[in-house]
Amino acid sequence: MSWLSPTIVASLIAMLQAVVILLGAVLLGAVMTVVERRLLGLWQDRYGPNRVGPFGSLQLIADMIKIFFKEDWIPPFADRTLFVLAPVIAMASLLLSFMIIPITPGWGVADLNIGLLFFLAMAGINVYAVLFGGWSSSNKYALIGAMRASAQTLSYEVFMGLALMGVVAMTGSFNMREIVNAQEGLWFVIPQFFGFCTFLIAGIAVTHRHPFDQPEAEQELADGYHIEYSSMKFGMFFIGEYVGMVLVSALIVTLFFGGWHGPLLPPIVWFALKTGAFLVFFVLLRASLPRPRYDRVMSFGWKFCLPLTLINLLVTGAVILIADPL
Amino acid sequence: MSVATPTIDSTAADDPVVGALKQRFGDQAILEQATLTGMPVLWVARDIVIEVLSFLRDMPEPFEMLYDLSAIDERLRGNRRGLPASDFTVFYQLLSIARNRDVMLKVALHEDDLALPTSVSIYPNANWYEREVWDMFGIDFRGHPHLTRILMPPTWNGHPLRKDHGARATEFDPYTLTVEGQDVEQEALKFKPEDWGMRRENADTEFMFLNLGPNHPSAHGAFRIILQLDGEEVVDCVPDIGYHHRGAEKMGERQSWHSYIPYTDRVDYTGGVMNNFPYILAVEKLAGIQVPERAQTIRIMMAEMFRITSHLLFLGTYLQDLGAMTPVFFTFTDRQKGYEVIEAITGFRMHPASFRIGGVTMDLPRGWETLVQGFLDWMPKRLREYERAMMENAIVRERTRHVAAFTTREALAWGVTGPNLRATGCDFDLRKKRPYGGYENFDFEVPLGSNGDVFDRGQLRIEEMRQSLRIIQQCVDHMPAGDYKADHPLTTPPPRDKMLQHIETLITHFLQVSWGPVLKPNESQQMIEATKGINSYYLTSDGNTMSYRTRIRTPSFPHLQQIPAVMRGGFVPDLIAHLGSIDFVMADVDR
């Protein structure tokens, strides 16, 4: 058994961890589709899906069977290559971002020095999914949805990155583990409150969740950029959106709410609880708010959020310099 | 009963409007017709009709609204009693808010020369009405900007409301559709901007033409509107209706006075018995029936119940169109509670057809007060909740304030009535201004808006629900005793207990149920304040068991026609908000 050297064991464990996290992320995204409907039902005075299995717990399996066996239709007028590529990008770019999230001290896929930058890059790539999907469908509604999505994501990514720079400045690193460790005494949500607010808004906008779901606004665009998609291609967009929701929740927890830190309970439980709380918050937002008009969303981003992040960054920088002059 | 049944002579012989017209155009030019419509009906010659219309629109206290415009195929009408010779009669009904009066102009046309000048330049909403007349009767309006079919498919042969056009599928050859035929139909539905004088591009932009509907989540039914877009800005738009047309007016000529009642329920399908109301009142004018007070009060109570359920549906979908997904579930819960009451009293939920000529179907069930009171106690706190959670929400206000706003003047010019008119601040509610069916006995207020925007149209309807609750409360507190049906030979069906005892009533019952009641030749009309605006039935009786012509004027038709005038320059989401705030159902538009 001499080939089973410690290095190999370590890399096998790392691979196993990666697979578990990957499956966990996808599964959580899928489960969220059902959890969301049940929660909406609760808040909307109705049951939600409760027919399949005890308390509707097997609804997910029924949905999966349905979506796998639907006809995978590509419209004859679509640009095939891009049409097929778009959902792949949508799903892959978000899943890849999970790589940088440290779940517990011992769990996590990669410990990148440029952790945060990697996430921002992936979020940037995610725009292409929507853009390609909307453009290649050759459908006017999809096109308008894609236009809205690209404009919105671009605008909100500008200050999404900036909102995180306060955290980076306080930690002095882009590495996610170091960011979590830096919060052992005080969660960043307190010193970086405005950074948290703007990142939360940008996070919702980038994942196209209500109330920033203008790109797919059902009442206006009848589902926007993925209107022509069916079967698993639609499923990938759909699950991708929920994976994005999980990702943003996990990021908020990591960056502002001390990651796995917390008293008494084991780290994994703390991480799960905090992430879960944000997932529920996302659903609650959808249940309670109307949708602002698209141009207002843009001007809110540029005229309110961007200046706020800049001021936040400026103040953070000044405080750091005053407290610890080089 | 409160609806006056004027004698033939009383139709305002010395009406100041008629006087002014005679003074201006000469005694010979104006011929009065005595009817039961409650307004002067004046025959004028084709060559002066435009002048008469302009005169009436521009006189002091003007007739600012073209309320209705349609036609009658008179070729088979037997009882015309010295009216001018006419094969086809086009009628214009004008409404004056200041005078609170109507006037009807009739123009006689000969079969060989079915044409008259267009009135679009005087009343902008004549556009769709004239298209409808062309579509239904084949009457040409010279100078009309776009005289094409509006309700029937563009490929249709014939004009359905002519008496020689078939009414039932069995009168036609079996329907077939070949591949070529399908191509022709689809080509005919294709939108060609040039036909509408629209340009595909200007100096620096190529416009996108977006086909919204007839299948679209926010189109509220089979409604199609084609948008000319510059980015997301609506440069212009063309509403396309007719996908829900069922020929309700034609069916009126094939059903007995009694058996037509259920068809009216389906005209504004969210309004239930509210649709029976104008029809029944108009029939009762023809029959000369006085309805007992109890029947009147039951009718008003049920009509107001339906106003509430209709407004609740409006509120839920209106907020959903603004992107709030939750309120619609709450309003549907409330609506369900309303339907439980309605079902207990009428026997059905959405389309009870429970008004009868001379009364209602049956007396109130035992324990009805508790049921209705339960609903009355439930609603106010819910309405407060909708206001607090939604109407005071910053996003809702931002989406609706000053969006798709129009003034009273514009509203009247486009024929807008009901809550949409009152949202502009115009105090015109028929229940107050021209009480019908017993409304004069009730104490309620008429809520008014001020800006005439999407917000006011929503807020006003919440207020109207409160007033309806007040009216229903008064019904519960003061329900008169007595009969639920009038003791009159034309009451259909006659009271059952009498039918079982008197041979005379039994014979009447038999005749009325098998043939239908026979109404004397005359014309009558009743306007009511329906859920969505003013709805009226203009009935022409030729002394038969069936109506000779049933004209249904619905509020949603002009409301949709107005959309382009309001939306030019708005954004797509504003259009969706406006569509939500109009409160229309396509069945009410297309009939």
What are the backbone angles phi and psi of residue A132, rounded to the nearest 5°? Answer: -65, -45
Pairing of strands B115-117, B140-142: parallel
Confidence label for B377 from pLDDT (cuts 50, 70 and 90): very high
In a mutagenesis test of the A interface, which of B207, B209, B232 is the best target, namely the one with the most A β-carbons within 10 Å?
A: B232
Decide: A229 and A133 in contact? Cβ < 8 Å.
yes
pLDDT surpassing 60 at residue B2 = no
In a mutagenesis test of the A interface, which of B233, B234, B328, B395 is the best target, namely the one with the most A β-carbons within 10 Å?
A: B395
Distance, in angstroms, between B426 CA and closest chain A CA? 29
Structure tokens at B511: 């005749």
The candidate with the shortest Cα–Cα distance to B283, out of B581, B572, B526, is B526
**What is d(CA A42, CA A21) in angstroms, rounded to the nearest whole number?**
30
What pLDDT sits at residue A181?
78
Q: In 3-state terms, what secondary structure has residue B296?
A: helix
What value does the mean pLDDT take over residues B238-253?
A: 90
Q: Within its chain, how far is the Cα of B588 from the centroid?
A: 7
Percent of chain B, pLDDT > 70?
98
**What is d(CA B562, CA B527) in angstroms, rounded to the nearest whole number?**
21
**What is d(CA A206, CA A208) in angstroms, rounded to the nearest whole number?**
5
Helices (H), chain A: 6-43, 59-69, 80-97, 115-136, 140-171, 176-182, 193-206, 218-221, 231-256, 267-288, 294-300, 306-323
What value does the mean pLDDT take over residues A134-151?
A: 85
Q: Give the dihedral sign, CA B212/B218/B223/B225.
A: negative
The candidate with the shortest Cα–Cα distance to B439, out of B289, B268, B304, B279, is B304
Distance, in angstroms, between A109 CA and closest chain B CA? 38
Q: Does B226 touch chain A (CB under 8 A)?
A: no
Confidence label for B126 from pLDDT (cuts 50, 70 and 90): very high
Nearest CB among B211, B330, B396 relative to A290 is that of B396
HSE-CB for B490 with a 13 A CA cutoff: 21
Residues of chain A positioned with their CB less than 8 A from the CB of B378? none
Residues of chain A positioned with their CB less than 8 A from the CB of B320? 219
Residue of B nearest to A42 (CA): B326
pLDDT surpassing 60 at residue B12 = no
What pLDDT sits at residue B315?
92
Q: How many secondary structure helices (H) and strands (E) does chain B include?
A: 21, 15
**What is d(CA A61, CA A63) in angstroms, rounded to the nearest whole number?**
5
Name every residue whose Cβ is closer than 8 Å to that of residue B367 and which is 6 or more positions away in sequence: none
pLDDT surpassing 80 at residue B305 = yes
Distance, in angstroms, between B575 CA and closest chain A CA? 9
Pairing of strands B88-96, B101-109: antiparallel
What pLDDT sits at residue B3?
42
pLDDT surpassing 60 at residue B10 = no
Q: Within its chain, how far is the Cα of B401 from the centroid?
A: 27
Decide: A145 and A215 in contact? Cβ < 8 Å.
yes
For all residues of chain A together, what is the average pLDDT? 83
What pLDDT sits at residue B221?
81
Of B32-36, B112-116, B359-363, B547-551, the poorest mean pLDDT is in: B32-36
Decide: A209 and A242 in contact? Cβ < 8 Å.
no
Q: Does A245 touch chain B (CB under 8 A)?
A: no
Q: In 3-state terms, what secondary structure has residue B65?
A: strand
Of A207-211, A270-274, B528-532, the poorest mean pLDDT is in: A207-211
Q: Do B330 and A45 touch (CB under 8 A)?
A: yes
Confidence label for A150 from pLDDT (cuts 50, 70 and 90): confident
Confidence label for B551 from pLDDT (cuts 50, 70 and 90): very high
What pLDDT sits at residue A325?
66
pLDDT surpassing 80 at residue B319 = yes
Q: Do A219 and B393 touch (CB under 8 A)?
A: no
**What is d(CA A126, CA A109) in angstroms, rounded to the nearest whole number?**
20
Decide: B553 and B104 in contact? Cβ < 8 Å.
no
pLDDT surpassing 80 at residue B141 = yes
Confidence label for A218 from pLDDT (cuts 50, 70 and 90): low
Q: Does B320 touch chain A (CB under 8 A)?
A: yes
pLDDT surpassing 60 at residue B6 = no
Structure tokens at B28: 């010979």
Single-letter code of the amino acid located at B35: T
Q: Does A169 touch chain B (CB under 8 A)?
A: no
Distance, in angstroms, between A51 CA and closest chain B CA? 20
How many pairs of residues across A and B have Cβ atoms under 8 Å apart? 79
Q: Does B330 touch chain A (CB under 8 A)?
A: yes
DSSP B319: H
Confidence label for A216 from pLDDT (cuts 50, 70 and 90): low
Long-range CB contacts (within 8 A, 24+) of B152-156:
B152/B242, B152/B245, B153/B185, B153/B188, B153/B242, B154/B188, B154/B189, B155/B184, B155/B185, B155/B188
Nearest CB among B329, B393, B399 relative to A45 is that of B329
pLDDT surpassing 90 at residue B537 = yes
pLDDT surpassing 80 at residue A223 = no
Q: Tokens 């949508």 belong to which residue?
A: A90
What pLDDT sits at residue B82?
79
Which tens digit of pLDDT belongs to each residue from B478-498? Answer: 999 888 888 887 888 877 777
Which tens digit of pLDDT belongs to each residue from A228-278? Answer: 888 888 888 888 888 888 888 988 988 888 777 777 778 788 888 888 899
Decide: B199 and B169 in contact? Cβ < 8 Å.
no
Distance, in angstroms, between B330 CA and closest chain A CA? 7
What pLDDT sits at residue B295?
92
Q: Do A218 and B217 touch (CB under 8 A)?
A: yes
What pLDDT sits at residue B14?
64
What pLDDT sits at residue A137?
86
Q: In 3-state terms, what secondary structure has residue B490?
A: coil
What pLDDT sits at residue B466?
92
Q: Does A219 touch chain B (CB under 8 A)?
A: yes
Of residues B208 and A216, more confidence is placed in B208
Confidence label for A217 from pLDDT (cuts 50, 70 and 90): low
Distance, in angstroms, between B320 CA and closest chain A CA? 8
Q: Tokens 């405005």 belong to which residue?
A: A194
Of A226-230, B160-164, B454-458, the poorest mean pLDDT is in: A226-230
Percent of chain A, pLDDT > 90?
1
Q: Does B322 touch chain A (CB under 8 A)?
A: yes
The candidate with the shortest Cα–Cα distance to B119, out of B52, B212, B40, is B52
Name every residue whose Cβ is closer than 8 Å to that of residue B399 and which is 6 or more positions away in sequence: A290, A291, A292, A293, B322, B323, B454, B573, B577
pLDDT surpassing 80 at residue B200 = no
Residues of chain B positioned with their CB less than 8 A from the CB of A290? 319, 322-324, 390, 393, 395-396, 399
pLDDT surpassing 90 at residue A51 = no
For all residues of chain B together, what is the average pLDDT? 88
Q: At what angle do helices A231-256 and A6-43 cross, to 10 degrees?
A: 100
Strand partners for B481: none
What pLDDT sits at residue A92?
86
Of A174-188, B36-50, B569-583, the poorest mean pLDDT is in: A174-188
Structure tokens at A121: 């890059």
Which tens digit of pLDDT belongs to each residue from B398-438? Answer: 889 888 888 999 999 999 999 999 999 999 999 988 999 88
Q: Dump the DSSP string for B203-259.
A: SS-BPEEEEE-SS-TTSSSS-EEEEEEETTEEEEEEEE--TT---HHHHHTTSBTTT
